[in-house]
């Protein structure tokens, strides 16, 4: 009995995901022919094409990671990423969110001592790569905040603007990472970068804000990271500030707000949940 179209397509996807099983699939699911080649050989053309296309897509999203990891490690991680995290969208530009973790694991297996650093670099690159895909929205400005009556500050609801992305990792090398990123990203991506990088003391997080033709990087200290992360969970400025002050009594909200205003990284959320 002839398999249904859905069965045929599932079988083909399976063969493409597990190239080593291609011959088994090609013979088990009747019906592949390759002209002068066997069905398995013909299927291998597709396996090779899709693999090359996806590795190329990752190379375009992660040019710095490729440079620092080296071709061998990068390709090994890319192949593993394709197997474990296949694309879910026909939009190739969306593919690769899981690559930093795969790169870290693969680098660690190859006994690279920079595995964590490479993963951090890749995470930064991913944020940068995805920023143009976000819809820009007018930010809440310093003037807007000045115009707000004091009694309304208690109930103020804020969020990161869509054009901003916050990178808060779990490894301790962020200053070095940010420096490397700042020094090398512009020539690798073609996207003018790094108008300034301001961090007093150790940088534990990185905020990327896309602007017209450029991206601003802001280094965030641990208390600032906590405030931004809390705000991403819930837009209440009061709750985020209280939670941050509980752990970091010296947290300087006004200083952080000032930098976020300058970068155009904040939006005000209205009572009905709309971005203002």
Which positions touch other proteins (CB under 8 A)?
2, 4-6, 8-10, 12-13, 16-17, 30-37, 39, 41-43, 45-46, 49-50, 53-54, 57, 86-94, 130, 132-133, 136, 191, 210, 212-213
- How far apart are CB 248 and other proteins at their closest, in Å? 36
Q: How many CB atoms lie within 10 A of CB 137?
A: 14
Closer by beta carbon to other proteins, 5 or else 143: 5
Q: How far apart are CA 148 and CA 158, in angstroms?
A: 13
- How far apart are CB 36 and other proteins at their closest, in Å? 7
- How far apart are CB 269 and other proteins at their closest, in Å? 24
- How far apart are CB 28 and other proteins at their closest, in Å? 14
Q: How many CB atoms lie within 10 A of CB 127?
A: 18
Q: Which residues contact 151 (CB under 8 A, 6 or more apart)?
A: none
Q: How many CB atoms lie within 10 A of CB 180?
A: 17
- How far apart are CB 232 and other proteins at their closest, in Å? 22
Closer by beta carbon to other proteins, 34 or else 70: 34
Closer by beta carbon to other proteins, 126 or else 174: 126
* Contact assessment for residue 247 and residue 223, using Cβ atoms and an 8 Å cutoff: yes
* Contact assessment for residue 58 and residue 88, using Cβ atoms and an 8 Å cutoff: no
Closer by beta carbon to other proteins, 132 or else 155: 132
Q: How many CB atoms lie within 10 A of CB 240?
A: 21
Nearest to 124 by CA among 56, 181, 204, 59: 181
Q: State whether the Cα torsion 128-130-134-140 is positive or negative.
A: negative
Closer by beta carbon to other proteins, 88 or else 152: 88
SS3 250: coil
- How far apart are CB 165 and other proteins at their closest, in Å? 14
Closer by beta carbon to other proteins, 237 or else 267: 267
SS3 267: strand
Nearest to 256 by CA among 227, 231, 216: 227
Closer by beta carbon to other proteins, 30 or else 183: 30
Q: How far apart are CA 237 and CA 228, in angstroms?
A: 10
SS3 252: coil
- How far apart are CB 48 and other proteins at their closest, in Å? 8
């Amino acid at each position: 009995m002839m398999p249904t179209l859905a069965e045929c397509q599932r079988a083909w996807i399976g063969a493409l995901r597990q190239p080593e099983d291609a011959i088994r699939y090609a013979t088990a699911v009747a019906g592949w022919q390759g002209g002068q080649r066997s069905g398995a050989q013909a299927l291998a053309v597709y396996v090779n094409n899709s693999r090359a296309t996806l590795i190329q897509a990752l190379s375009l999203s992660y040019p710095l990671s490729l440079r620092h990891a080296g071709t061998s490690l990068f390709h090994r991680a890319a192949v593993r990423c394709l197997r474990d995290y296949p694309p879910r969208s026909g939009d190739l530009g969306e593919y690769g969110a899981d690559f930093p973790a795969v790169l870290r694991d693969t680098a660690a297996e190859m006994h690279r001592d920079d595995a964590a650093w490479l993963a951090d670099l890749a995470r930064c690159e991913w944020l940068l790569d995805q920023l143009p895909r976000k819809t820009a929205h007018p930010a809440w400005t310093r003037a807007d905040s000045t115009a707000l009556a004091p009694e309304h500050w208690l109930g103020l609801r804020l969020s990161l603007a869509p054009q901003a992305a916050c990178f808060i990792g779990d490894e301790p090398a962020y200053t070095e990472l940010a420096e490397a990123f700042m020094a090398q990203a512009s020539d690798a991506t073609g996207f003018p970068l790094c108008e300034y990088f301001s961090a007093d003391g150790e940088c534990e997080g990185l905020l990327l804000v896309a602007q017209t033709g450029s991206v601003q990087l802001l280094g965030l200290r641990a208390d600032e990271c906590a405030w931004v992360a809390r705000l991403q969970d819930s837009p209440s400025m009061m709750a985020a500030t209280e939670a941050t002050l509980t752990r970091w009594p010296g947290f300087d909200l006004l200083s952080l707000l000032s930098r976020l205003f300058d970068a155009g990284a904040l939006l005000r959320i209205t009572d009905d949940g709309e971005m203002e």
